[in-house]
A and B are shown apart, each in its own frame.
Chain A
Amino acid sequence: MTYKIQKNQLGGLFSAIAAKQKLYLPCTFSGKTDFALWGEDAAFDLDTLKTVKSAKEVFFPQCEDIVSFDTRGGNLTVTEAERETDDFVVFGVRGCDAAAFSILDSVFLSEPVDTFYKSRRDHGTVVTLCCSRPEETCFCSAFGIDAAAPSGDVTAMFSGDVLYLTPNTEKGLNLTKSVQNLLVPATQTDEKERAAEAENIRRITASLPLKNLDLSGWGKDELLEKFNSPLWKDLSLPCIGCGACTFSCPTCQCYDIRDFDKGNGVQRYRCWDSCMYSDFTMMAHGTPRPEKLQRFRQRFMHKLVYYPANNGGTFGCVGCGRCLERCPSGINIVKVIKAFGDNDR
């Protein structure tokens, strides 16, 4: 069953959803779009393809409390931070970011389970949004992701001034049911319209410059051969180690755990970290990755070799293209893949 709603009625739809549960969706701040909590004055933006940070932030926040310690009077008591207990909706997740959720799931939901992440996954309903206008930096199709049929509890698709909503799961059905009075069931003509738009999206995707990105040779094999390649030297040269690629990446999941002294106790929190930083692996007696080359190599080896080795060949990149746009030095995963490809030939 598919429903539809006019684009100019979306404000009403979002208010209705937000009246019942928290709603996160892409909103514009200072000219940049990112996922944020819906408010009546929110400047929501469903046109921007790549939010600055990916949708992972909703499930794996950049910074979150995990436990606090009361250390007053020479005592020590431990209090766990609250897990998510309320249902919420994330609206407008693109296919690449949604595919990245499965990669994050493989890390955080494998034993021993990360209960902070899990509580959000359990309570979150994901509404994905088809990409009407894929961009030149997009290469999700290289990883088998269909921008016209992203996975999610509900799949949304714009066609002209109409937004179609197709629930795929029980969570999704509950969501469409909860706002049914605002939705109109799609007719057969609508279905045809929707299928035509999907074709349109697939046609654009097939004409993108990176559509033929060749991933052969990457994956779980040849670990040491790739690691020891002389190519890393030149590839890593422009990198300034800023970490922009890792922070904007939907699949990067490395984190740090830190303590903040509150005066009357200590708050322990975790926050995103980056393997591109020189102190990431620093120990009292040194670091195994003192060179930029080694840190640069770690990021790409992890996405293209180490992660696949542990996950049946699935790559740790979803082709969102953020690192292509954000790197101040113009180096990125596509250049790495291509450099090795050219070398093989």
Chain B
Amino acid sequence: MKDMLIPSVGIITDIRKDTPDVKTFRVVAEGGGKCFEHIPGQCAMLSVPGVGEAMFSITSSPTQRDYMEFSIKKCGCLTEWLHSVEKDAKITVRGPFGNGFPVDGELKGKNLVFIAGGIGLAPLRSVINYVRAKRSDYGRVTVVYGARSKDDFVDFEEIENEWKNERDFSVHLTTDRPQEGWNGHVGFVPAFVKEVGLDPHDTVLLCGPPIMIKFTLSALVEMGFERTGVYTTMELRMKCGIGKCGRCNIGDKYVCKDGPVFRCDQLDELPAEY
């Protein structure tokens, strides 16, 4: 009988350095192909036996048939180890975990606004590329993405070369501070969303550092967005990924199982302990 605690072997077939501290890893199963299927927004437990195991969002779209991708920021033992490995390294993978974004439910047919800060683009990229692959199922798409500097955008090439050319897509980038060689917008995301001019009837998917989520959400509410129209992801410590080890329990929810995607009105019903 299969147990979700037991991982399988994954092979890192490609490593892309996105920013000074983010690398994107392409992972396939030992016999080739993906380790498992997923929904955009779902996560996987990656581990290096003896070093550690942690939860990462799957940044590739499920419509990518050949591999999964993970954009990982260097911040601790396991991620440092991953940043030091070469192509063909073996790791362990288990999943998928979590609910994912309701791409085939509530989001279908909607105009979508993606707002990301820093590495927060990782879970959203999965949805964005899913929407691109099924373009006619969704309405107009707006992407607002902020990073510390122009060198800190994850997937910059894809954004510039593909997203910006996608039908009915508008992409707005901003950096925290001015910089030589950057002609784009400068400023923080919460202020920038107001300048971009969004339609409060659109559905928002918001991911980033907690502080950025907090201020962006207030900005959105000021602009007339309903909390029921804003989806975000939550990050807590995880071990099992299946709602049993107790680690990611908050109120009556387990982030690994009931999340990581929550609507902002659902968050209001939870204790403010995240």
Contact = CB atoms under 8 A, between A and B. Distances in A.
A310 interface: yes
A257 B249 contact: no
Interface in B57-95: 75-76, 79, 90-92
Nearest to B75: A284
Contacts of A282: 237
Interface stretch (A66-74, A133-141, A165-173, A198-206): A66-74
Contacts of B250: 288
Interface in A243-278: 253-257, 259, 261, 265-266, 268, 270, 273, 275
A288 B90 contact: no
A302 interface: yes
B5 to A, nearest CB: 5
Interface in A73-124: 74-78, 80, 83, 107-108, 110, 112-116, 118
A75 B246 contact: no
Contact of B235 (A75, A257, A283): A283
B50 A66 contact: no
B249 to A, nearest CB: 7
A67 B5 contact: yes
Given A75-B90, A78-B9, A302-B249, A255 B237 contact: no
A281 B247 contact: yes
B274 A259 contact: no
A80 B251 contact: no
A302 B271 CA distance: 12
Interface residues on A, range: 35 or more
B119 to A, nearest CB: 11
Contacts of B269: 223-224
Contacts of A280: 237, 247
Interface string B42-61: 00000001111100000000
Contacts of A211: none
A223 B252 contact: yes
B242 to A, nearest CB: 5
B252 A78 contact: no
A310 B252 contact: yes
A71 B50 contact: yes
A289 interface: yes
Given A69-B49, A223-B269, 14 more contacts: A71-B49, A83-B1, A112-B4, A113-B1, A114-B242, A224-B271, A254-B246, A255-B244, A257-B53, A257-B245, A259-B50, A270-B5, A294-B273, A301-B271
Interface of B: 1-9, 49-53, 75-76, 79, 90-92, 235-237, 239-240, 242-247, 249-252, 269, 271, 273-274
Interface of A: 66-67, 69, 71, 74-78, 80, 83, 107-108, 110, 112-116, 118, 220, 223-224, 227-228, 253-257, 259, 261, 265-266, 268, 270, 273, 275, 280-285, 287-289, 294, 298, 301-302, 305-306, 309-310
16 contacts: A67-B5, A71-B49, A83-B1, A113-B3, A115-B3, A227-B251, A257-B53, A257-B245, A268-B49, A273-B246, A282-B237, A283-B236, A285-B75, A288-B250, A289-B273, A294-B273
